Structures are given as C-alpha cells and as structure tokens.
Amino acid sequence: MFNALVIEQKDDNQVVSIQELDESNLPAEDVVVNVGYSSLNYKDGLAITGAGRIVRQFPMIPGIDLCGEVSESKDSRYQVGDNVILTGWGVGEGHWGGMAQKASLKADWLVPLPATLSPEKAMTIGTAGLTAMLCVQALENYGITPDNGEILVTGASGGVGSTAIVLLAALGYEVAAVTGRPSNEDYLKSLGAKRIVLRSEFEDKAKPLEKQFWAGAVDTVGSNLLAKVIAQTHYNGAVAACGLAGGFDLPSTVMPFILRNVALLGVDSVMCPYEKRVQAWQRLSELLPGSYFEQASTTVGLKDVPELADAIIKGKVTGRTLIKL
Ligand code: NDP
C-alpha cells in the first residue's frame, strides 16, 4: 500500500484527497520507483486546482516531477536501488505522477541522478530548474555572452526565474530581475540579481520598438510583459521564452525581429530529448552553489499541497516547494 494525492472528477468538479492505494493499481510500466521527493510547479498548481485543463484522465495522481529509488525494473538500464529523476513527459497530466510514495514509469522518461545531487537537491531543481538551465543554454547557444550586457529574468521570484538568476550569475552574467513583489528584493539580490525592476514598469502597452536595455532575457510570464521585453532587447539580442504565468498571448509586432535582428527562442522541457536532459542535469549539478539549495526551497508534506497549489497559481509562492513523500 502507498499514499498518494488523488484528483478525481465528481459532477464536473475536481476533488483532491490523500488516499491509500494498493500497488496493483499502478499502471504497468518498465520501472517502479519508491518516490522520495516530488516538487510543486506552476503546472501542478493548474492541475490540482483545475484552473487549467492539465489533467487528461481521472483519477490522476499529480506531480510532474519526482526523484526516488528504483524498486522494480524490467529495463536493463535501471537496477533496483538506482536513484532516478523524472520530469515532464506528460507525467502528472496523463500518467500517474510524483505526488505519491510509488510511481510506475517508462524507462525512456528517466534520467540517472547525477552523483553529486541528493534526491532532495534534485527536486529543489525539478522541472523549473531544468527549464531555467535550458533557457540559459538557449541564450548561450545563440551566442549571448556576459560581455554583451544585462540579462533580464521575468517572474523572478518563481521556480524558473529564481533558478535562472542563480545560473546566470554563476556563469558571470549581470542579471536584472522583474518582480511584482518588491518585498522580495533582498531575496532576489541574494540569489545573484544585480538590480530589481518592478513589474509595474512593464504594464503599459508594448510599443513596436522601445529603448534597448537587454542583451538577452529569460521570460516565464508571456503576454504584454514578454512583448515589452522583446521591444527592449538590443540589436542581435535574444529572448528565451518558456512560460505563461501572465498569459499565453503575445501582443507584439515583427519590428524587433526584422529591424533589430532580435531572436525569440522557444524553450520546452517536457519533451526534451534524453541526451540534452542528461547534459542539462550535469550542468545544473555543477553550476548551482550550495546556497541555492538553502535559500530557494521550502519542504512540505502531501497534506499541504492543495493550499500551496492555489497559492502558486496566484503568484504567491516564492522559490521552489519540495514535497517529501
Ligand atoms: P512560479 O509560479 O513558481 O513562478 C511564476 C512567477 O511569475 C511568480 O512567482 C511571479 O513572480 C510571476 N507572476 C505570477 N503571476 C504573474 C502575472 N499575472 N503577471 C506577471 N508575472 C506573474 O512558476 P514556475 O517558475 O514553475 O513556472 C513559470 C512559468 O513557466 C509558468 O507559466 C510555467 O507553466 C512555465 N513553465 C514552462 C516550462 C516549459 O517546459 N516550457 C517548464 C516549467 C515551467 P514575481 O512575483 O517575482 O513577479
């Protein structure tokens, strides 16, 4: 038997409860994992509250991230006792996810836990951290270097934003952080942001071209804020866009692209191929300082998740939330 957070649908409403399930209920897959930690991401917030059409079948165990120890394996790549990480691949959306003490998963979805990371540290990073690393790599691959100028990170207090700040600072970039929460200024500076820009400065409608401030940007917000960031990006600059915390629209024009050679780089972590994932996890394990794991995370139990799910979609969670199973 194992405990799990279960989302059920009753009379068109979602009902969330902690249930004790029998292992025979698990989907039949290649590898069964004793989950040590999961984490709370924005997408989990959408799934658990029902605010987004994330869950594709009921009952569903949410949790797009998990880390734990293999307890059964039909795949030669993984042996009993190996520590593995799972992020993305539609787990917690269409396949039972990480907010349970057990998970049954396809071997192709797994990544071995890097030797220098504990399960707790891996889940402090989670999907949010992996996505932040992929955004930073997108800027690097495009040729944006620390001497090109300031990099802007939006949604800075969130999981992706906070990790992007730490990674960029570790790589020697000068980081400016956009936040809607001025009270988080000291926290964001302690992560490595050189200066804070208030979200209110991005509220007026984006003009086709604005004064050029940013050599590059990591955007987790979308909508008018992203349109303004693109309009404020330097000639030859690039914006890595991965999120929609402020909306999925993009009220922009082609002007920054055709007159300033600005690039909009799309970033997805969910279907990221294995080799790229392993490389990103390796870099995360090398780049993130010890202070990141202390400053940017809070650990909770399954019972706390519904309330925090509501808070994350309201933009009230700071940093990363670990769920101990
Ligand atoms: P969080 O909720 O942890 O962080 C989002 C942050 O955005 C908040 O902390 C807040 O920061 C800011 N924010 C919240 N609401 C608004 C708003 N209405 N307008 C402007 N800013 C807002 O989420 P995550 O960091 O986990 O994810 C961020 C985004 O990235 C989400 O949209 C998520 O779906 C997406 N994502 C995409 C992935 C991919 O593979 N493409 C993977 C992971 C996440 P502050 O208070 O500092 O302004």
Provide the pLDDT for residue 296. Answer: 74
The pLDDT assigned to 53 comes to 86
DSSP designation for 148:
G
Q: Answer yes or no: do 310 and 204 share one domain.
A: no
- Statement to judge: residues 78 and 166 lie in one domain: no
Task: State the ipTM, two decimals.
Answer: 0.99
Strand-pairing partners, residue 102, are 34
Q: Which atom of ligand 1 is nearest to the CA of 156?
A: 47
Do 160 and 105 fall within a single domain?
no
* 227/317 same-domain check: no
Phi, psi of 104 (to 5 degrees): -115, 125
How many residues does this entry show for the chain?
Answer: 325
Q: Is 243 in the pocket of ligand 1 (CB under 6 A)?
A: yes
- Closest alpha carbon to 217 in 283, 142, 152: 152
The CATH number of the domain holding residue 315 is: 3.90.180.10
Does residue 78 belong to any structural domain of this protein? yes
CATH code for the domain of 165 = 3.40.50.720
In this structure, are strands 65-73 and 31-40 parallel, antiparallel, or unpaired? Answer: antiparallel
Question: What residues pair up with 216 in beta bridges, in sequence order?
Answer: 151, 238
119 lies in a domain? no
pLDDT score of 295: 79
Query: If DSSP codes are grouped into helix, strand and coil, which group holds residue 228?
Result: helix
13: β partners:
10
Q: Is the CB of 220 under 6 A from ligand 1?
A: yes
Q: Are residues 262 and 138 in the same domain?
A: yes
Testing ligand 1's pocket by substitution, the residue of 41, 42, 284 carrying the most ligand atoms inside 8 A of its CB is 42
Record the pTM. Answer: 0.96
In a domain, 272, yes or no: no
Question: Per the structure block, which two tokens stand in for 51?
Answer: 């605010």
pLDDT 10s per residue in the chain (325 long)?
999 999 999 988 899 999 999 999 999 999 999 999 999 999 999 999 999 889 999 999 999 999 999 999 999 999 999 999 999 999 999 999 999 999 999 999 999 999 999 999 999 999 999 999 999 999 999 999 999 999 999 999 999 999 999 999 999 999 999 999 999 999 999 999 999 999 999 999 999 999 999 999 999 999 999 999 999 999 999 999 999 999 999 999 999 999 999 999 999 999 999 999 999 999 999 999 999 998 778 999 999 999 999 999 999 998 899 999 9
Residues 196 and 169 in one domain: yes
157 — alpha (psi -120 to 50), left (phi > 0) or beta? alpha
Has residue 279 been placed in a domain? Answer: no
Query: Cβ(33) to ligand 1 under 6 A?
Result: no
Name the residue with the closest Cα to ligand 1, atom 9: 158
Question: Measured from the CB, is residue 162 less than 6 Å from ligand 1?
Answer: no
Q: Classify 14 in phi/psi space as left (phi over 0), alpha (psi -120 to 50) or beta.
A: beta
The residue type of 24 is S
The Cβ-side half-sphere exposure at 266, using a 13 Å CA radius, reads: 5
Residue type, 273: P
Structurally, the chain folds into a number of domains equal to: 2
89 in contact with ligand 1, CB cutoff 6 A? no
Report the first-to-last Cα separation within the chain, whole angstroms: 13
Q: How does strand 83-87 pair with strand 110-112?
A: antiparallel
194/297 same-domain check? no
Task: Please calculate the CA angle 253-266-257 and round it to the nearest 5 degrees.
Answer: 30
Ligand 1 centroid – CA 156 distance (Å): 8
Q: What is the DSSP string of 98-135?
A: SSBSEEEE-GGGEEEPPTT--HHHHHHHHHHHHHHHHH
Q: Are 27 and 97 in contact (CB under 8 A)?
A: no
d(CA 94, CA 61): 9
Residue 248 counted as domain residue:
yes
pLDDT in the model for residue 185: 97
Which residue, chain included where needed, has tokens 């706390």?
Answer: 304
Q: Is the CB of residue 222 below 6 angstroms from any atom belonging to ligand 1? A: no
Residue 118 lies in a domain: no
Same domain as 216, residue 108 = no
Please give the residue range of the domain that contains residue 238.
Answer: 128-266
Per-residue confidence (pLDDT) for residue 241, from 0 to 100: 98
